[in-house]
Amino acid sequence: MGLFDKFKKAVSAEPSAPATPAAITAQASDFALCAPVSGKAVKMADVPDPVFSGEVLGKGCAIWPENDVVYAPVSGEVTVTMGHAVGLKSDSGVEVLVHVGVDTVDMKGRGFTGYVKQGDHVSAGDPMIKIDRSEIAAAGHPDCVVLAVSNTAEYASVTMTAEADTHVDAGAAVVEVAK
């Protein structure tokens, strides 16, 4: 090792994620899903997309975000990443889709910075995606963050526990899954 080698910084191919807010891990449990962002919580029926509002991809809720970082709503394995969306399988078996925006797949990853990859294990509250809300708006897409339980049929109920049309903080329990 040369004299100046110890002063060189390691270059990472992955973007560095922001720190996890302490409040996010406080309300996570095996069958409670936390808000992945702070903002206004809405019923799934109010998402401006028939696939989500019709609960085709599962029951849950959505949040109109105030911030630009999307956090893991549960602890578990990342099963898929698509730039604008992340699929998770919680440690208790709940399959969760966190989807940013409506028709944002058209953006082909522009406006999104991923902090996780397939196979990673995340803890509730870990940063998963940074979003550029102005770029999403410029592309003409709503930026609501959908939180859907994709294996809803395996449970007795999936219920939005947050009061609709009210503010929620990232990390607050917003959906309860019952066996």
Residue-wise pLDDT tens digits, 26-57 = 455 678 999 999 999 999 999 999 999 999 99
Q: Which residue has the higher pLDDT, 73 or 26?
A: 73
Q: What is the DSSP string of 17-52?
A: PPPPPHHHHHT-BTTEEEPSSSEEEEEGGGSSSHHH
Alpha-helix runs per DSSP H in the chain: 22-26, 50-53, 133-138
Is residue 125 one of the residues assigned to a domain? yes
167 catalytic residue (yes or no): no
- Domain of 103, CATH number, reads 2.70.70.10
Looking at 99, 121, 141, 167, which residue is catalytic?
99
| d(C-alpha 126, C-alpha 118), whole Å | 15
3-class state of residue 146 by DSSP: strand
4 occurs within a structural domain: no
Residue 18 lies in a domain: no
Assess if residue 88 is contained within a domain.
yes
Is 1 domain-assigned?
no
CB crowding 39-64: b at 16 or more within 10 Å, else e: bbbbebeebebeebbebebbbbbbbb
Is 2 a domain residue? no
If one counts the domains in the chain, the total is 1
Each residue's pLDDT tens digit, 81-107: 999 999 999 999 999 999 999 999 889
pLDDT in tens, 100-154: 999 998 898 899 999 999 999 999 999 999 999 999 999 999 999 999 999 999 9
Residue 166 bridge partners (DSSP)? 41
Q: Does 105 reside within a domain? A: yes
Residue that is written with structure tokens 């917003």 in the block: 174
Is residue 8, in this structure, part of any structural domain at all?
Answer: no
Strand partners, 167: 40
CA distances from 44 to 6, 21, 22, 41, 123 (A): 52, 26, 27, 9, 25
If DSSP codes are grouped into helix, strand and coil, which group holds residue 132? Answer: coil
What are the structure tokens assigned to 174, written together?
């917003």
- Segments forming the whole domain that contains residue 117: 23-178
pTM over 0.95: no
Q: What angle do CA 148, 149, 155 make, to 5 degrees?
A: 150
